[in-house]
Amino acid sequence: MFKTILRASALLLLLMLVSCKQANDSTVSDSSNPGKLTANDAIDFVVDAEEQLAGLLVENERMAWVYSNFITQDTEMLAALANKKFTAKQVELAIEAARYYEIPELDSDTRRKLNILRSGITIPAPRDVAKTAEQSEIGAKLGGMYGKGEYCYEDGRCLDLGHLSDIMAESRDPNTLLEAWNGWRRVSPPMKDLYARQVELANEGAAELGFADLGTMWRSAYDMPPEDFPAELDRLWGEVKPLYEALHCHARARLGELYGTDLVPQDGPIPAHLLGNMWAQDWSNIYPLLAPLEETSSYDLTSILRERGFDAITMVEAGEAFFSSLGFEELPATFWERSLFVKPEDREVVCHASAWDVDEKDDLRIKMCIKVNAEDFKTIHHELGHNYYQRAYNKENFFYRSGANDGFHEAVGDTIALSITPEYLQKIGLLENVPDASGDLALLMKRALEGIAFLPFGLMVDQWRWQVFAGETDPDGYNDLWWQLREKYQGVKAPNERPADAFDAGAKYHVPGNTPYTRYFLARILQFQFHRSLCEIAGDEGPIHRCSIYGNKQAGQRLNAMLEMGRSKPWPDELEALTGQREMDATAMLDYFAPLQEWLDEQNQGRQCGW
């Protein structure tokens, strides 16, 4: 998790009631006479908005930190109150920003800031008091339905999503998998009518901010005409689709061997419940079924870390040393004093790994319940990537203290994690010798089952929502559209006929939680593009899946030059500063996985691929 001015929108629906007052307050300018507004008025408004939001954001961040690290009813209420104040001000200023945005004489910098402000609310509420209250109530209900969801078996066991996900990951019995898969999807049908009404209200709110619908509002944040953005995504998908299709073909063949071709036909989509994940978005849990049989990883990083006596602090110190080797300044002393590294025994905390810049200056922190294993070693490098990005742009204007677009922040952290290679581990003394290439296929397969398998799901979630927001399907068609897109992009299908009231999209948190999802697709593309360019800057001439930029200050300088920009420039300008390219480019991912692609093509000879 990382912080931008949009961070509070995750709780917006619970807190929107307070915006009613601002939306109707007499201090809000009269929108019936926009001709009175001038470019100087807009500049003054932006300066004032920055000052108001900056102060409230720091207060909100501190309370959010306390709540995450000391979970009680009191800290929950205090955090909600701080968030409420910040969110209400966001709403008020977004409505005003929409008015100033229409002034024709605006300079580009002011217009950019106004657009960030007016589009910075994920789910805008209408100004109407009753509708705003209804929007808030719907948001609370949807969040409660998802959070409290469980499935009760005939034997009386009631399992939540975590336990049902464990079954999806571990079981190889198709009937057991099917029951868990269907069981979780019983949580979402009651959400459908509420969600449909929320879409109506959010579209009305988006219209008041000057957008055709909510999807247009979300797509307006990408420095291009909103109507062009879907085509850009399809272009990127087209570049990497052959690799996904090869992975899909191999997975389908191996699953057919295990479950039989009656259950897994070899010429169609894969049943969604067989891929090791509740949403079939990450296939890493079925790695043993798909692994190159003759290949094994040549080292066990978890065992090495434990044998060397690593603990939570030395794991983080290793991550800091990576960035220091690139020329980045060491983390401030307060980072070590204020971060949470180990789960306390005396209280409840949110253990989900996250990176914070509490005061938007130098109060950097991470919050993790670190375990000494390979996964957390990688996660630490990732989270520190967020921290160094946050510090790099902290001198920018308030509205520009975030990633160039919402895919950049995650991509930076993921890029750093790609440099955790055998060569890097040898340089820091965790491996005596760099293993030969015999284990590379196993490592590439593991990464592909996480990253490549995710891409079409990361793409289609918002493709579905954008059509819903645009009114291209009604609630009766929600589920049909969901599975049409899943089959089109992922090549997966529902394992059985879906009930008439099914709302399977609602079984994925980000839909009822109203979290835009395209950012995750973009991050997967960008991380490999960043990595390839940094390897070129570092002068590494080997295969990029073995490249680590550790110790290369020239790569560090180029990376920092992009990070310092924050969101101050259109993302193509910032991308060009690092990569020399003005377009996102998925071919870097193909370069990275080239040995795996070659192996998959060999395995797939004689198989009927596609669906």
Could you give the CA distance from residue 395 to residue 312 in angstroms, rounded to a whole number?
Answer: 31
Cα distance between residue 188 and residue 144, in whole Å: 11
pLDDT digit string, tens, across residues 328-342: 999 999 999 999 999
Where are any strands of DSSP class E within 137-240? 150-152, 158-160
What percent of the chain lies above the pLDDT cut of 70?
93
Count of CB atoms within 10 A of residue 194's CB? 18
Would you say residue 68 lies in a domain?
A: yes
Of 97, 122, 147, which residue is a domain's last?
122
Q: Which two tokens stand for residue 189?
A: 């049908």
DSSP state of 355: E
Question: What is this structure's pTM?
Answer: 0.88
Q: What proportions of the chain, in percent to the nearest 5, are helix, strand and coil?
A: 60, 5, 35
Residue 561 CA to residue 558 CA, distance in Å, equals: 5
600 vs 230, 237, 323, 413, 605, CA distance in Å?
29, 19, 35, 28, 9
Q: CA-to-CA distance for 588 and 401, rounded, in angstroms? A: 27
pLDDT band for position 294 (50/70/90)? low
- pLDDT tens per residue, range 155-210: 999 999 989 999 999 999 999 999 999 999 999 999 999 999 999 999 999 998 88
Whether 510 sits among the annotated catalytic residues: the reply is yes
Closest-CA residue to 80 (of 129, 135, 16, 139): 16
Confidence of residue 21 (pLDDT cuts 50, 70, 90): very low
Which range is most confident: 110-124, 149-163, 238-252? Answer: 238-252
Residues in the chain: 611
The last residue of one of the domains, among 91, 122, 153, is 122
Distances (CA, A) of 24 to 36, 89, 194, 250: 20, 13, 26, 59
> Could you tell me if 249 and 604 are in contact, meaning their C-beta atoms sit under 8 angstroms apart?
yes
Instruction: Provide the pLDDT for residue 119.
Output: 83
Residue 468 banded pLDDT, cuts 50, 70, 90: very high
Spacing of C-alpha 405 from chain mean position: 12
Is 383 considered catalytic here? yes
Q: Is residue 586 part of a domain?
A: yes
Residue owning tokens 């204007």: 397
Annotated catalytic residue within 61, 96, 360, 383? 383
**In angstroms, what is the C-alpha Rg of the chain?**
24
- Residue environment code for 48-72, b if the CB has 16+ CB neighbours within 10 A, otherwise e: ebbebbbebbbebbbbbbbbbbeee
The Cα–Cα gap between 265 and 274 comes to 13
pLDDT tens, 380-424?
A: 999 999 999 999 999 999 999 999 998 999 899 899 999 999 999
In 359-427, alpha helices (H): 374-392, 408-418, 422-427
pLDDT higher for 284 or 34? 284
Domain end call among 92, 122, 152? 122
Total number of domains in the chain: 2
Mean of pLDDT values over 75-97: 83
Please give the DSSP secondary-structure letter assigned to residue 492.
Answer: E
Burial grade of 230 (CB within 10 A; 0-12, 13-18, 19 or more): middle
Which position among 245, 295, 487, 510 bears the catalytic label? 510
- Quickly tell me which residue has 């005596």 as its tokens: 432
Q: Assess if residue 380 is contained within a domain.
A: yes
Q: What's the pLDDT score for residue 13? A: 36
Asked if 271 contacts 492 with a C-beta cutoff of 8 angstroms, the reply is yes
Q: Average pLDDT in the 18-38 region? A: 47
The pLDDT value given to residue 78? 86
Domain enclosing residue 337, as ranges: 301-435+519-592
Q: What would the mean pLDDT of 551-560 be, rounded to a whole number?
A: 97
Q: What is the CATH number of the domain that holds 415?
A: 1.10.1370.30
For residue 14, pLDDT over 50 is answered with no
Beta-carbon contacts of residue 79 (< 8 Å; ≥ 6 apart): 63, 64, 66, 67
